[in-house]
Structure 1
Amino acid sequence: MSRIIAVANQKGGVGKTTTAVNLSASLAEKGKKVLTIDIDPQGNTTSGLGIDKTKLNNTIYHLMLDESQLDELIIHNVYNNLSLLPANVDLAGAEIELINRKRREFILKDSIENIKKEYDFIIIDCPPSLSILTLNALTTADTVLVPIQCEFYALEGLTQLINTINLVKNRLNDNLEIEGVVFTMYDARTNLSLQVVEEVKKNLHTNVYKTIIPRNVRLGEAPSHGMPINEYDSTSKGAESYRLLAEEVINRKEE
């Protein structure tokens, strides 16, 4: 049975897209069939998987506006076992264009209902804001994976996000759960990173993944080459960390 995971955080710059791209690629590398959905108008997940977003004529925007069917939009086998529903800047206009649309929070959920069984995992990269696009991701998802940067204001942003998830759960998707928190940009040389990890574990009554994603030069370089880290530098610390995270995600499903 397919599991749908939204990768979300209202704060930007926390490694959300990096996590969506590299978790997807690591799950695919382990033989899982994966669909990655880019629902962020920045389209960074699309370009991070090697697709030139400026040359796309059909994207998730056309699905949201009911101008194209899902099977016309999915780019199959971007990498082995990994397909993509792409996005680009066109999506930025969807918010206003959908204002009078009925069931506008459920467009994505309704669209993928018939194809979700074809995949082991569907990973959705959300915008760093609470918009109609994020709501579509949260109504579609079974769980929310929350990347948190190891920095001073991490807990503050996280509390807001958990409140949002609970609101969506109460009003739009009563099956929605928090998949867990994954720490990103961890710098073992600083006391602050360690303090943030300890503080979140102490204050947060939700699952925290054992895998911590380190600050890693190769991880930072990979998007500019349009590759997930396991393709760009398979032996790097970043690649190994995302493989471990994928293993935890798979094991949690099996539990």
Structure 2
Amino acid sequence: MSIIMAIANQKGGVGKTTCTYNFGISIASQGNKCLFLDFDPQNNLGGSIAPEMVENPEYTSASCLHNAYNLFENPVKAKPFEVSENVHVIGGDKRMGNITQSQILNVAESIDLIKDDYDYIFIDCPPAANALQHAALLVASKLLIISQAQKMSIKGVNELVKTSRQIRRMNPDLEVLGIVLNLIEANITNDQREQEAELRKEYGNLVFENKLIKTTRVSEALNQGKALIETNPKAAEKFGFTAVCEELCKRMVEVTA
């Protein structure tokens, strides 16, 4: 049975997309078959890891089965784009910005038709409490929250936790896997230290022990359609990605045991 993980925050700019891809590639490298679902209308994830997919003129057609928009329009069995044997992707579309709550059941049925083909499905969510985010939380079994050690970002965490509690009334399988702190300065600032302390005080062990250090190498790798673990394993270790991925895998084992 596949694990469906929504990666989210209700504030933008926290690094959800880079985290989604780096964590997913790390898990795929262990022999797991992974699907990346881009629920963000900007399609940053899909466009970065499979530019040839979105550049195809057929991508925006109603018959394209690796465009997430069409999964919301009607329940269909998707045909994800194959990046590699263990990495498949369904991209986003700017038209998804108009998706309504009434279309959520369509995408839920669509995902249900393909979920058993994968060990893990990662959903990159938009930074807003809208129908797209609600759809992701309704089909997911795990929620991973990405946050900066910054006041507005933590406010987004609080709002998302409240939303997840409401969604659990309809999806009791949804579980918050944890909160990952991202974009921490190498020389952590006093404000970041204070905000991190507040977050840990509020959420305790839900906050990952390991943190991700701010570096341009992550986005540079994604611009090449790669994860940092692929382009520079030493940098992945130096900036915390290796440790956070290991902690993520450990948490998934613990909650599914």
TM-score scaled to structure 1, two decimals? 0.87
Partner of 2:234: 235
Q: 1:60 to 1:243 in 2, by over 3 A?
A: same
- Paired residue type of 1:229: L
Work out whether residues 48 and 228 of structure 1, in 8 Å CA contact, stay in contact via their aligned partners in 2: no
Q: Does 1:61 align with 2:60?
A: no
1:87 aligns with 2:92: yes
Shift of 1:32: 1.6
Alignment length (residue pairs): 245
CA contact (8 A) 1:41 1:91 kept: yes
Gaps of 5+ in 1: none
RMSD: 2.1
**Over 4 Å off, 4+ runs:** none
Give 3-state SS (helix, strand or coil) of 1:210's partner. coil
Question: Cα 1:214–1:47, aligned 2, differ >3 Å: closer, same or farther?
Answer: same
- Aligned pairs (5 A) from 1:1-255: 1-52=1-52, 53-55=54-56, 56-57=59-60, 58=64, 59-66=67-74, 69-72=76-79, 74-76=80-82, 78-95=83-100, 101=102, 104-170=103-169, 172-189=170-187, 190-205=189-204, 207-237=206-236, 241-255=240-254
Q: Percent identity?
A: 29
> Which has more strand, going by share of residues?
1
The Cα shift of 1:215 comes to 0.3
Please give the alpha-carbon distance, in whole angstroms, between the structure 1 residues aligned to 2:152 and 2:114: 39
Shift of 1:178: 0.8
Letter of the 1:12 partner, please give it.
Answer: G
- The separation in 1 between residues aligned to 2:36 and 2:185, in whole angstroms, is 28
Larger mean CA deviation between 42-51 and 223-232 belongs to 223-232
Name structure 2 gaps, 5 residues minimum: none
Q: Which whole-Å CA distance do the structure 2 matches of 1:138 and 1:151 have between them?
A: 24
Q: Which amino acid aligns with 1:227?
A: K
Distance 2:167 2:180 in 1: 21
Q: Decide which moves more: 83-92 or 16-25.
A: 83-92
Q: Distance in 1 between the 2:240 and 2:30 partners?
A: 14
Distance 1:125 1:138 in 2: 11
TM-score using structure 2 length: 0.87
CA-to-aligned-CA distance 1:111-158 (integer Å, 9 cap, x gap)? 122322222211100111111111110000011100001223333222
